[in-house]
Amino acid sequence: MIRLHIALELAYTIGEYGGDFVFNIHAAHTQRQRVVREALSLSQPQPSVVQTDPATGNRYLRLQAAPGPLEVRYDATIDLDHHMAEPGTIAEVPVARLPLSVLSYIYPSRYCPSDRLHRFAMREFGRLPQGYARVQTIRDWVLSHTTFTSNSSTSDTSAIDTLLSTVGVCRDFAHLMIALCRAVNIPARFATGIDYGADPALGPTDFHAYVEAWLGDRWYLFDPSGTAIPMGFVRLGTGRDAADVSFATIFGSITSAAPRIAIQAMADDSGRLIVPYHSTQALSTDG
């Protein structure tokens, strides 16, 4: 088991008419990601509510803010008890046998137009042996054909844009891998979180986007950007693409500062410290 502590600080300036927020900054509760303790503080004395989407498990903080400055602070201690499996034992699941809750993740979505990439994906990956290794090959292909470049994309950049430009940030790597997986009928979803072990040369710790693919009987983790350590991902939310899981959806005239985020490994209650490491095993924080 790995214990991690995360701390987030978000700062905003609210216009004269106030504004509304939907935040997705609370660590998700899953069967293998347990929130040991958490705390939220707001600089404004406004009522807020945290609600959990029963379909995804995403936790949303909803808040109506008054004009002026707003600071949001969230910190949590999380235990990760990964399901680990040998990649060679994990098969793909035929569409006919996919659980109903997984079906939506084989369809095209706003940033992952997999239908437009079908012929390309079949040419590149359609003849590969099916299973975890094929998904890993798609992940490796995205990593080798795309260069991580800060500020190289916008909120309109789709998987096709990234394929053509060959540059992007973690969000773009994830969209491209998801679109290619769906194009060969492998369910894949967009995941947001805080990542442990990112290269400091890439800048301050930030929110991270990665991929979960449905294989065998659960969602397995993949990091097509290659910037961090998957064993150290703390999941915040999952969705079809970035449109579903923005860390902050804002309504009103509001300006924001860059988020301040920290993550560190901690000793558990018995005093044992396990630091996330790169593993050749397939990893999942799903049930």
Predicted confidence (pLDDT) per residue in 3-28, tens digit: 999 999 999 999 999 999 999 999 99
pLDDT at residue 287 is higher than 90: no
Range of the domain at 10: 2-81+247-266
Task: Please check whether residues 258 and 208 belong to one and the same domain.
Answer: no
Task: Please check whether residues 164 and 187 belong to one and the same domain.
Answer: yes
Task: Please check whether residues 55 and 112 belong to one and the same domain.
Answer: no
Mean predicted confidence (pLDDT) in 33-43: 97
- Domain count for the chain: 2
- Reduced to 3 states (helix: H, G, I; strand: E, B; else coil), residue 68 is strand
Gyration radius from the chain CA atoms: 19
Task: Please check whether residues 235 and 252 belong to one and the same domain.
Answer: no
Burial class (CB in 10 A: 0-12, 13-18, 19+), 152: middle
Residue 274 lies in a domain: no
Task: Please check whether residues 94 and 150 belong to one and the same domain.
Answer: yes
The predicted pLDDT at position 151 comes to: 86
Task: Please check whether residues 74 and 99 belong to one and the same domain.
Answer: no
Mean predicted confidence (pLDDT) in 37-55: 95
Task: Please check whether residues 77 and 190 belong to one and the same domain.
Answer: no
Residue 272 lies in a domain: no
Among 180, 184, 174, smallest CA distance to 221 is for 174
- Using pLDDT thresholds of 50, 70 and 90, give the confidence band for residue 237: very high
CATH number at residue 58: 2.60.40.2250
Residue 276 lies in a domain: no
Q: Confirm if 48 and 12 have CB atoms less than 8 A apart.
A: no
Q: What is the mean pLDDT of the chain?
A: 96
The token pair at 266 is: 């901690």
The residue whose two tokens read 């795309």 is: 146
Distance CA 105, CA 95 (A): 11
Task: Please check whether residues 128 and 203 belong to one and the same domain.
Answer: yes
- Reduced to 3 states (helix: H, G, I; strand: E, B; else coil), residue 80 is strand
Distance CA 91, CA 89 (A): 7
The CA-to-CA distance between both ends of the chain, in Å, stands at 15
- Using pLDDT thresholds of 50, 70 and 90, give the confidence band for residue 198: confident
Task: Please check whether residues 87 and 211 belong to one and the same domain.
Answer: yes
Task: Please check whether residues 74 and 87 belong to one and the same domain.
Answer: no
Task: Please check whether residues 147 and 221 belong to one and the same domain.
Answer: yes
CATH number at residue 115: 3.10.620.30
Burial class (CB in 10 A: 0-12, 13-18, 19+), 98: middle
Distance CA 261, CA 207 (A): 8
Task: Please check whether residues 217 and 182 belong to one and the same domain.
Answer: yes
